[in-house]
Structure 1
């Protein structure tokens, strides 16, 4: 197994969890929150997908699926196209009301684009600096692991919320 195959496998496992959590849930269940300040399944899946889309597009030098493929308009959320959900207030979390088809459609489109990008990743490319705003600057390898970690945690949170409310 080479580096790109390993990274694709990690993202594919996240996709499997997302599908297991979201499939067959109605809009009300997806938007349900176990407490007033908690995140819903819809928000968690939208957010993890936005982070993956945003961060990998930036690292890979391509336009986000959210804007390039019209997902911002299709989802119709009252949020800026650049919004990834980072630091959302409880009120903003409540705005993310999406169907299973919308969530899975966007997630699958991002996953497909992620796989295309990851097929190009080589061991030598992992040291390339992709974000100079941090000290130390962030390499591609660190960014890829960070995205996997963040998405995996949020997918697990979505599964936990599903267990609490269903």
Structure 2
């Protein structure tokens, strides 16, 4: 989890939280993004989605997003969105940014959900290490241990849990 603070005049250019296939990252692609608003911004500071389709915009907004959807930051609210489609292709409507803070201060906590265990991933990208170290790995994987980030499965069942970039089953 990351905590960010935006003061008057600060913003974040629009971007995507998904990564292209040319650049593997620890934990794999970011499937879900959760933004938790830790403060209410008086004016500006909206999180905007320029490629999103707007059905109803219910609040007056700053001028930073003329198309798409914008969400006003209110303390205690959270914004959850998917970065990938069901077929694991990038969802272009998830591109987002932060409008300039006009008045007040914006505090947010951001959490990303990755396709694999993140905290163990740094050692899982080395070629030649993609193997199971215990006979029970296939059964544990079938029982859901990998998805639950079971520490045993993460440590000993790299191949069965598909935690490897190189040599993982397709």
Superposition TM-score, scaled by structure 1 size = 0.27
Q: Max radius of gyration: which structure?
A: 2
| Structure richer in strand, relative to its length | 2
| Structure richer in helix, relative to its length | 1
Superposition TM-score, scaled by structure 2 size = 0.27
Q: Point out which structure has higher relative CO (alpha carbons under 8 A, 6+ apart).
A: 1
